[in-house]
Amino acid sequence: MKQLIAYAFIAGLFLACGPGPSVDIAFDSGPLAMGVDTPMTPGITTIQSEVVLDLDEQFEKAQAKRDEVQGVDKGSMVLTAAEGRNFDLFENLTISFYSDENNMTTVATLNPVEKGQSTLEIPLSDLAEIGPYFEENKFLIVLDAQIMAPDTLPFELNAQISGTLKPSKK
């Protein structure tokens, strides 16, 4: 019986020491320019851009811990092709995040890419653990695109990430 009480006490300590209540911090990266090297050839093309998020003021105002982001709600990425272009050459897309502190994580997949679209809104996966990327001041977006046909024209696009961070309260 004493062992059972001791186990219950230890389990209670673990639960009590877990992350505290969370707060909501909305974020929007603003447009992030991404360019594709030309000529594009059929096959996988990798496109990347650095995301720099200056969220320290929002964390301070919310009295939240920057190093304890528990998750991201309603995260999405919008990709917009430059004027006159669309995503017809793209068969599918895989979007990943990568940083110095965190391994590459796939955050969204779009397969197939709908034809005739110059803007794609892609929800970020609820299953991907992306909170740790927002504990840092910067990380990389990596787009792996399956290109269906060759193209020699420059292809510029903007990416924009938004959602609600769930950090622990201080």
In a domain, 4, yes or no: no
Domain extent, residue 74, equals 20-169
Residues 1-33: pLDDT tens digits? 444 343 333 334 333 444 456 788 888 989 999
Q: What is the DSSP string of 9-54?
A: HHHHHHHHTS---B--EEEE---EEEEE-SSB-SEEEEEEEEEE--
| Entry pTM | 0.81
Q: What is the CATH number of the domain that holds 86?
A: 2.60.120
In the chain, how many domains are there?
Answer: 1
Does some domain include residue 10?
no
pLDDT digits (tens, 9 = 90+) for 104-141: 999 999 999 999 999 999 999 988 889 899 888 899 99
75 lies in a domain? Answer: yes
Q: Is residue 8 part of a domain?
A: no
